[in-house]
Structure 1
Amino acid sequence: MQVSVVIPAFNAGQYIEAAIASATQQDGVSLEVVVVDDRSTDDTREKVRRMAAADPRVSLIVLPQNGGPSVARNAGIAAAQGQWIALLDADDAYLPGRLATLVALGDEQHADLVADNMMLVDAGDGSAVPMMAPGFLACPRAIDLPEFIARNISTPDAPRTNYGFLKPLMRRAFLASHGLRYDEKVRFAEDFALYVDCLRAGAQWWLHPEPMYRYLVRPDSLTQVQTTGDLDRLRRRQRRLLSEAKDQGDHAFATLIRRHLRNVDRCYYYRGFTDELKAKRPAAALGYLFGGADSVPLVVQEGARQLPVVLRKALQGGYRRPAGAAR
């Protein structure tokens, strides 16, 4: 079997059938689809069971308790039998021919990871734009760790481009030989964390310029609504990487992680400051504002970046955090 498509799902009843269908309708590859239900409370499991009954390539794993996306993905990877592990979020979809195109590129280049550009689809109006603008990536090519980390920090020349959002096919043998899995303590930016581990382990990663992955941008997703707890866990992980890089004398990697950590810190202090202001806890808000040596300028910088978003939300009636979102 060439590809195992792993789909973690939590309350994805609205989208799961389309996601699975986009995988099973892929031509030119032998595949299985492993759906991991993270204790959904809607009709996700029932819909997957019906599709599995009609197509033996589809299987369902039900977790004993909600563990988050990293736990769900690890369960899917452990069950996978394909040469390649293909990631697919339950509210996203593949375009026709995606898997065959990426498998061919990965095999041709002896790659360990291979990904494509993405179509960012607005959940509100259905409009779609490629994450990497036309011309940004002229032809398939390899990327390395410095480029990967650098492209996780927004820049004026490519404001939407964030390589941490990419959904690569990963060679299962590479993951197994290096003992690589998702960090189950991380519920936000878990893909970024794994990809860094892969590249540090020597993975060869190739990118294809064609956008063949439809990424649904929803205002209530974890990617769009990071909590301070999510961001703080990522900060702690990055600090461990930074400490390891310093101990190993890897100054280039330390510089890269320090740049990315500053970006995460900016989001963390701003999120904490604004959340506490909204909750009418001024003392706690000041705790975030003055929580670090450079937290004040970081909050100001992120505030300036978020101003257009804040104004747009205000015109649309305001922004409300999803019920049950933890800090």
Structure 2
Amino acid sequence: MSTLATTRVPDVSIVIAAYNAADTIERAIDSALAQINVTVEVIVADDCSSDQTRERVLSINDPRVQLIALDKNKGPGGARNAAIAAAKGRWIAVLDSDDVFKPMRLFQMLERAKETDAQIVVDNLDVIDLDNNGRTMFLEEALAQRAQIDLASFIRSNILFRAEHNFGYMKPVFERDFLCSKGLQFDESLRIGEDYLLLASALAEGGRCAIVPTAGYVYYVRAGSISRVLHLHHVDAMLAADSGFLQRYPLQGSALAAQKKRTASLHEAHAFISLINSLKARSISGALKAALTNPRALRHLRMPIMMRVKRLLKGRTRTKTSASLTPGGTHAPLHKG
């Protein structure tokens, strides 16, 4: 492990935000270093871990690995920004500290970028659940039929409470010069949804986003991940970030229509969490009051509410302090950090 970047400009800078990732960080780094037919550097930004994460990174004897030890916890967005600021590669790839790349992933993505003159490339994902069962997130045939992802399609796929998976789960590779020239970085105020906002901003800036339909990224579902629990303050932060996005990028047509639906879905999520918090506090009156403040959410969430009311009346609901929410069918545009 070296604290100095290599002198040769690598094809890809792989940035990893790590927080208490001692159990998985070496696996993630090994997969990054094992990329075939591309040159890489791996920059790990340790976000004030209290475990052995830093020591595990420092133990890796490879000059392509660089550690940035943050002196203040900045969250996933801030840690990634710190790593990107130190990057020298032509492309930027984000890898979560508990996930892995398949060996040919980056080569395939860079080849796709050359073929399409794209500044952004995304690919499919293999998802490994808590029982270690794997599945591919998107149908390859469906992705293969798409030439690219445009802004309207991306926003539309990130509307909460949709039945299908959304493109917000994809892990883009960005051309570094494009990010720098547009002044794009992760929003450090967001602990959930920072990935979505960066890609949406890149598309709004005119970036072309090509697709590799095969799975090159392996996404591990982990118990306790911040992406699996959505609180009211997370929704408030996403609404504020989306408002700022609209101020920077006045949308029109299909993109604006999609954004209006996304905003409505965030308000529905806010109402849903308020309802669940009230139900878990065993307050039917509080739940009804929360529901009536957003009739649209009440209509949309009628069945989940009634199921919880029935459980409450039967005395089977246990009191907890916060609500869990995974809107969007079985998954939501939320991300690990």
Give the TM-score normalised by the residue count of structure 1: 0.85
Contact 1:39/1:66 (CA < 8 Å) preserved in 2?
yes
Give the counterpart of 2:195 among 173, 179, 191.
Answer: 191
Contact 1:265/1:298 (CA < 8 Å) preserved in 2?
no
Give the drift of 1:208. Answer: 0.6
Change (3 A) 1:284 1:8: farther
- CA-to-aligned-CA distance 1:288-314 (integer Å, 9 cap, x gap): 33343534224436658x98xx9xxxx
Contact 2:161/2:265 (CA < 8 Å) preserved in 1?
no
Give the counterpart of 1:221 among 225, 246, 249.
Answer: 225
Change (3 A) 1:133 1:69: same
Amino acid at match of 2:280: K
Are residues 1:172 and 2:172 paired?
A: no
Contact 2:138/2:165 (CA < 8 Å) preserved in 1?
yes
Give the drift of 1:252. Answer: 3.4
Amino acid at match of 2:276: T
Change (3 A) 1:206 1:272: same
Are residues 1:258 and 2:260 paired?
A: yes
| Structure 2 residue aligned with 1:14 | 23
Counterpart secondary structure, 1:18: helix
Contact 2:24/2:98 (CA < 8 Å) preserved in 1?
yes
Are residues 1:67 and 2:71 paired?
A: no
Give the drift of 1:137. Answer: 1.9
Contact 2:77/2:186 (CA < 8 Å) preserved in 1?
yes
Counterpart secondary structure, 2:186: coil
| Structure 1 residue aligned with 2:334 | none
| Structure 1 residue aligned with 2:134 | 128
Identity %: 34
Q: Which runs of 4+ in 1 moved over 6 A?
A: 317-322
Where structure 1 has 5 or more consecutive residues not aligned to the other structure, the ranges are 311-316, 323-327
Give the drift of 1:18. Answer: 0.5
- CA-to-aligned-CA distance 1:253-304 (integer Å, 9 cap, x gap): 3211111112222222212221243245666545533343534224436658
- CA-to-aligned-CA distance 1:183-219 (integer Å, 9 cap, x gap): 1111111111111100000000001110110011224
Higher RCO (Cα < 8 Å, 6 or more apart):
2
In the TM superposition, what are the counterparts of 1:287-298 in structure 2 within 5 Å? Answer: 288-292=290-294, 294-298=296-300
Contact 2:281/2:319 (CA < 8 Å) preserved in 1?
no
Where structure 2 has 5 or more consecutive residues not aligned to the other structure, the ranges are 1-9, 312-317, 324-337
Give the drift of 1:138. Answer: 2.6
Give the counterpart of 1:267 among 269, 275, 297.
Answer: 269
**Greater shift after overlay, 212-221 or 194-203?**
212-221
Give the TM-score normalised by the residue count of structure 2: 0.83
Are residues 1:114 and 2:111 paired?
A: no
Give the drift of 1:29. Answer: 0.7
Amino acid at match of 2:17: P
Give the drift of 1:79. Answer: 0.7
Give the counterpart of 1:90 among 81, 89, 97.
Answer: 97
| Structure 1 residue aligned with 2:46 | 37
Give the drift of 1:78. Answer: 0.6
| Structure 1 residue aligned with 2:213 | 209
Aligned equivalents of 2:239, 2:289: Cα separation in 1: 17
CA-based RMSD of the aligned residues comes to 2.8
